[in-house]
Amino acid sequence: MIPAPFRYLRADSAAHAVDLLGEHGDEAKLLAGGQSLLPVLKLRLADPAVLIDISRVPDLSYIRVDGDEVAIGAATRHRDVVESEELRREVPLLPHVAGYVGDRQIRHRGTLGGSLVHADPAADLPCAVLALGATFVVEGPSGQRRVDAGEFFQGYFQTAVGADEILVEVRVPRTGGAGWAYEKFVRRSNDWAIVAVAAVDGRVALANMGETPLRATATERALAGGASPAEAAASAAEGTSPIEDMHADRAYRAHLARVLTERALVTAAG
Amino acid sequence: MSVMGTRVVRVEDPRLLSTGGVYTEDLRDPRLTGALHLGFVRSPLAHARVVSVDAAEALAAPGVVAVLTAADLGLPAAPPMMPNFNPAMTLPALAGDVVRYAGEPVVAVLCEDAYQVEDAVGLVDVEYEPLPFVVDMRAAARDEVLLFPEAGTNTVCTFGAEELDEGLFEGCEVVVTREIENQRVAVASMEGRAGAAVPDDDGRLTLWLSTQAAAMSQGAVAGWLGLGPEQVRVITPDVGGGFGAKIGADPEHVVLAAAARHVGRPVRWTETRSENLVAMCQGRAQVNTVTIGGTRDGKVLAYRLDVLQDAGAYPRFGAFLPALTTMMAAAVYTFPKIETRARSVVTNTTTIGAYRGAGRPEATHAIERGLDLFAAEIGMDPAEVRRRNLIPRFTEPHATSTGGFYDTGDYPEALDRALWASGYDDLRAEQARRRERGDEVQMGIGLCVYVEITGAPLGPEASEVAEIQVHADGTATVLTGTSPHGQGHATAWAMLAHEETGIPIEKITVEHGDTDRIPDGTGTFGSRSLQQGGVAVQQASIELVELARQRAAQLLEADPSDIVLDKDRAALQVKGSPTSAVTFAQLAEKEPLGVKTKFVAPGPTFPFGAHVAVVDVDTRTGKARLRRLIAVDDAGTVLNPLLCEGQRHGGFAQGAAQALMEEVRWDADGNPETSTFASYPFLSATEVPSFELVEMATPTTYNSLGAKGIGEAGTIGSTPAVHNAVVDAVAHLGVRHIDMPTTPQRVWTAIQEAAR
Amino acid sequence: MKIGTTVNGAARQDEIEDRLLLVHYLRDRCGLTATNVGCDTTSCGACTVLLDGESVKSCTVLAAQVDGREVTTVEGLSADGADPHPVQAAFRQEHGLQCGFCTPGMVMASVSLLRDNPKPTEQEVREGLEGNFCRCTGYHNIVRAVLAAADGVSS
Ligand SMILES: Cc1cc2nc3c(=O)[nH]c(=O)nc-3n(C[C@H](O)[C@H](O)[C@H](O)COP(=O)(O)OP(=O)(O)OC[C@H]3O[C@@H](n4cnc5c(N)ncnc54)[C@H](O)[C@@H]3O)c2cc1C
Ligand code: FES
Ligand code: FES
């Protein structure tokens, strides 16, 4: 299948991308790795008139330790996240989770920023950055602003990044030696999660248990109060409203959330 | 040294691995220069009246040459393919007033460029008026919503007993009964359907098709267009898998041909995967009600199989599948009484056709799952129950009460070998330990013993043609009626010709699939190729040697009986005098040297085997993982183990995928839910283990090679084995049955329900 | 728009439609038809080629995006087609292909995998090929072929 016609433009900096977005307005879409956007265009679920390619902007692709955080350029590819020594040392959850995204070919193209802004509730990385409590640096016509993880994911495939804005950087706190784990439940290895759970340093996030990735706050509270993994996990599905699809109904998803949370907590405590 | 039974690597591979095959879409034939591209507007609804078609916007779009409806092409609907089908259920090439499944082609669009087609298809405005629909076969059988009101029923045809025998289970100590679904799966060959058509100046049509049976495609297309078969030439490029769904002609193929004639230009067509998953014929789709009665010590006394077949929207081969299912109901067992009954119904879904095994996997699955239910009821090991009912070894044909006529078989031996190779007792011991410990991950062991029918003719006789020609440069051409699409006939047939003539394998070229070159070929389906097509090649080679012997005798002035074949030199020589010799090439230089022959088999053959599957099931999530698959697949004498094993491996994965993953689904509104590879759970390398193959070869007496068919056996054995293993893993928790696919949610739900 | 690429070692310039997919650029403009399309959803891997040495799904890359970059298809794998690449040789030796439709993509994915992990375990091979579907082989001989190529058995 083939996308509807569009104009292809290449941005050479974040600011250039913002300019182009301003110029073309709602007609335009940013293109990073294209691993979510191009399938959408091929199935003709969207037909932007202009694509602004940011995948080759050199200063959007980097990983560097910056104080208590690691700063990651939005156009950093999954592969580079997986292989980053800094991340493996400072935030081991993130490269581990990036390794679950799609398959090797997809990780050779897809980017951290693309995955986060695409904001599929079933995706891996949104869940991971939520558990990590990342901060997002967003650039728009009036300059840069910072968004907390808790504010970033706003709805089904919706984030705090406006149509005239670009995500430029993701800042993840260094978790160092804190316990962490990721439990992804799939039928086939390169599928999106039916349910997934990321746990790090007493924080727990769930994928595909609602319209956005969600923090399992009841579980986190129980943990903070000294509950065992099994006890804390019992409330993992509290306050969630997962979809029903051909893989799982609501009750089963809730059950999976509890089982996976318990397993993640056991591993993280490990 | 004989090449028979050796692992000759494939001669077709260097090309496929370097420049790639030439599949239909890859054709750069000069006759296709400037070809238009064909696309289809397809129904988004399961059942609707077509109110109007507005093509104005599409016609105004760049590159659009024609927008054609059923009325424009004037193609008649095809009559039902079997005499016992309801005659009102005809198949249109393009939908006329009514669409009967989501995905049905309604309008054909022709453009100069492939990219333009997709744009233009979206611009055709078809207005539909939704009709009540029925996608579930059980509901369809109630005839509340009719697909063909003029038929007065959704029933296409019935098979078997008219009245059930009330007393069938009299005298049985135990009777178990259960409805067992054999869910619909997608064929999903990696290459979808594709074709290219060129109207020739003389009114003939040249058609390249991704097909498994060129002559049948030729007959079907010509018949539909109202032409004589000789007016259509079908050429088969490389074919990227078929699995039964590329036999004959689909509506799209006929529209392709008709459109090319209509505009008088070459036209090409390649479907997308999204089209393929809603419009290529699909497979299986049965609900089988199985009833087994017997004694508490494991002897089955009576078996009833009641089949409901979903034929999809238009009755094609799928409606006929129950004939094969009921015929194979007797399976490998000595059941004294068997009763079968079947009904095929139409539904507002994709048409059902042949898919790897076509009717036989369903028979095997029904009885093998049913026997496990029986075993569970009497508390006996499933292996033991099978042993107590297996037909003993036989060497003379064994007739079954359901119409099977098994050529040769040794089912107890197959079971024993599979059990032994699996370490069955150790597996059961490990299972017992895990159960005792109450592990989260439990294991299941599943068995299947099967017999199937291969090489069954679609027409009056089971036969295939072959021709061999030797050329003056020492090369030879084999023309075969079979139609390889992965099976390796170029290698296997060259081995056979080499074995008889001595002409080196690398000098033998195998041609197939061109109805001008091989007008009376049949094709490749039903695991028929080696046992009929291969045997024909062997026979042609033997006849060639005989012809060469006569000619050599004349030339060398010797008695034919004194002429012997020197395979090392591909030559004929006078016995005892090596210098008095002539090569095939030299004979061919003098006058054309070739023979054409046909092998007629005495009948179909019946390969058999036994599979053991081992699965791990996470009882907290319900997820099953296939850990081991141990398989005996006895298809008689093996020509090339490399090819034979490859067929088995592919079959195992497809069969296991049905047990674990695959299912074509519609939502409550009749929309396809599995129309892409993102949603249809095609399994990857991570979901299967390496397979464990056990050898066993019981030759057939029906052909000189002793070969039966192996193309479908792997699929037939593995589905029930894996399915039984999943149920077995949670049997100790009180679960007796879980329908396929055994998804995590289903397994988990079954565990919850059993605990209640 | 205009792009300049290096395809299988040869530099070229092309005027293309902005929406042209890399796979169609290779097939229809470069005449390299080994690379196949098997799906619409970036699922099957039949279209896998190397972009600057890394495996990518060419159905999900725009030709415009490879401007100034290097693409390798299975046609360009063995220098001038003489000696097959060890992965090609192993696929033949182990019967890792049947209909051949998935094969060019499978081979390119395997080449990329072995570049990153020259001595993979069976499990690593299976996971490394999770983005490539095959309907014919059940993956058994594909996995063996990749392991054999890693071992240098067939080279
Ligand atoms: C077969 C398949 C399997 C997959 N499996 C998984 C999986 O298991 N788990 C998973 O999490 N994902 C999976 N994915 C999704 C995918 O890998 C990621 O979502 C993808 O990599 C997104 O990144 P990208 O760079 O390709 O984004 P693109 O496709 O280029 O863009 C995605 C969206 O984000 C916007 N965007 C991109 N970058 C920015 C930016 N810097 N600022 C603002 N907006 C931006 C785009 O405009 C677009 O709307 C899978 C995809 C496929 C095709
Ligand atoms: S065609 Fe590219 S992944 Fe299927
Ligand atoms: S060899 Fe046919 S799909 Fe892989």
pLDDT digits (tens, 9 = 90+) for B329-348: 999 999 999 999 999 999 99
How far apart are the CA of A104 and the nearest CA of chain C, in angstroms?
Answer: 7
Out of B565, B580, B601, a domain closes at: B601
- CATH number assigned to the domain covering C86-154: 1.10.150.120
Atom 3 of ligand 3, residue of closest alpha carbon: C134
What is the topology classification, in CATH, of domain C2-73?
Ubiquitin-like (UB roll) (3.10.20)
Do both B213 and B109 map to the same domain?
yes
**Is residue B294 located within the same domain as residue B268?**
no
B595 with B485, same domain: the answer is yes
> Which residues have CB under 8 Å from B70's CB, separation 6+?
B92, B93, B94, B95, B96, B106
Mean pLDDT of chain B: 96
Nearest by CB to residue C60, choosing from A6, A10, A35, is: A35
Domain with B270, as residue range(s), is 13-131+193-239+246-279
- The residue of chain C nearest to residue A40, with distances taken between CA atoms, is C41
From the list A2, A44, A190, the residue facing B684 with the nearest CB is A190
Class of A180-269 per CATH?
A: alpha beta
In angstroms, rounded to a whole number, what is the distance separating the alpha carbons of residues C22 and C50? 11
Q: Which residues pair with B581 in a beta bridge?
A: B573
Is the pLDDT at B548 greater than 60, yes or no?
yes
Cβ <8 Å between B686 and A187: no
What confidence score (pLDDT) does residue B526 get? 92
CA of A266, closest CA in chain B: separation in Å?
15
Q: Does B665 touch chain A (CB under 8 A)?
A: yes
Q: Ligand 2, atom 1: nearest CA belongs to which residue?
A: C37
User: Nearest C-alpha of chain B: how many angstroms from A180?
Assistant: 21
Q: How far is C70 from chain A (nearest CA, A)?
A: 15
| CA A16 from centre of chain | 24
Write the residue in A44, A248, A255 that is nearest to B122 by C-beta: A44
Instruction: Say if ligand 1 is within 6 A of residue A123 CB.
Output: yes
Q: What is the mean pLDDT of residues A210-217?
A: 97
CA atoms within 13 A on the CB side of C49: 32
Give the domain CATH number at B575: 3.30.365.10
A266–chain C Cβ distance below 8 A for any pair: no
pLDDT digits (tens, 9 = 90+) for C3-44: 999 999 999 999 999 999 999 999 999 999 999 999 999 999
Q: Which residues of B touch A187 (CB under 8 A)?
A: 623, 661, 681, 743-744
Any domain includes B516: yes
Give yes or no: residues B611 and B503 share one domain. Answer: no
CA gyration radius for chain A?
A: 18
Check which CATH number belongs to the domain holding B197 and give it: 3.90.1170.50
- pLDDT tens string C82-120: 789 999 999 999 999 999 999 999 999 999 999 999 999
Residue C154 is predicted with a pLDDT of: 42
pLDDT for A270 equals 84
Based on the domain organization, do B654 and B704 belong to the same domain?
yes
| Ligand 3 contacts CB of residue C44 (under 6 A) | no
Judged by CB atoms within 8 Å, which residues 112-151 of A form the interface with C? none
Calculate mean pLDDT across residues B458-466: 91
Q: How many CB pairs under 8 A join A and B?
A: 53
What's the rounded Cα separation, in Å, for the pair B100 and B314? 8
Instruction: Enumerate the H helices of B230-345 as residue ranges.
Output: 251-263, 273-279, 317-327
Examine the fold and report which residue of B279, B295, B327 is the final residue of a domain before the chain moves on.
B279
Total domains in chain B come to 3
Q: Do B745 and A247 touch (CB under 8 A)?
A: yes
Residue of C nearest to A109 (CA): C56
Task: Kindly report the pTM of this predicted structure.
Answer: 0.97
- Say yes or no: B578 and B704 in one domain: no
What pLDDT band is residue C155 in, cutting at 50, 70 and 90?
very low
Q: Do C139 and B22 touch (CB under 8 A)?
A: no
B 243-262 → C contacts, CB under 8 A: 243
- The reply to whether B516 and B575 lie within a common domain is yes
Same domain, B479 and B523: yes
Does B177 map to a domain?
no
Q: The dihedral of CA B349, B355, B359, B365: what is its sign?
A: negative
> Mean of the pLDDT values across residues A224-252?
96
Nearest chain A residue to B117 by CA distance is: A2
Last residue of a domain, one of B255, B279, B303: B279
- B contact chains, 3+ CB pairs < 8 A: A, C
Interface confidence, given as ipTM, is 0.97
Residue B176 domain-assigned (yes or no): no
Query: Looking at residue C80, what is its pLDDT?
Result: 63
Give domain limits for chain A: 7-53, 58-173, 180-269
- The domain segmentation of chain C, as residue ranges, is 2-73, 86-154
**B471 and B618 part of one domain:** no
Using CA atoms, how far residue B34 sits from B121, B194, B197, B634, in Å, is 20, 17, 12, 50
Full DSSP string of B280-293 = S-BEEEEEEEEEEE
Show residues of chain A in contact with C48, CB under 8 Å: 105
- State how far the Cα of B384 lies from the Cα of B298, in Å rounded to an integer: 8
pLDDT in tens, B278-311: 999 999 999 999 999 999 999 999 999 999 999 9
Q: Does B211 lie in the same domain as B64?
A: yes
Share of chain B above pLDDT 70, in %: 100
Residue C27, min C-alpha distance to chain A (Å): 14
- Write the CATH number of the domain with boundaries A58-173: 3.30.465.10
Share of chain B above pLDDT 90, in %: 97
Residues B447 and B349 in one domain: yes
pLDDT 10s digits, B65-116: 999 999 999 999 999 999 999 999 999 999 999 999 999 999 999 999 999 9
**Do C33 and B189 lie within an 8 Å CB cutoff?**
no
Q: Give yes or no for B668 touching A (CB within 8 A).
A: no
Whether C41 sits inside 8 A of B678 (CB atoms) is: yes
* B716 and B584 inside one domain: no
Closest Cα in chain C to B649: C138
Q: Where do runs of H (alpha helix) occur along C7-121?
A: 22-24, 86-93, 103-116
Best residue for ligand 1 mutational test, from A60, A94, A118 (most atoms within 8 Å of Cβ): A118
- Using CB atoms, which residue from A2, A187, A249 is nearest to B115? A2
How many angstroms separate the alpha carbon of residue A124 from the centre of ligand 1?
A: 11
Q: Is residue B148 part of a domain?
A: no
Q: Does B190 sit in the ligand 3 pocket, CB within 6 Å?
A: yes
Q: Which of A134-138, B572-576, B717-721 has the lowest mean pLDDT?
A: B572-576
User: Rg of chain B's alpha carbons, rounded to an integer?
Assistant: 27
- Residue B179 located in a structural domain: no
What is the CATH topology of the domain spanning A7-53?
3.30.43
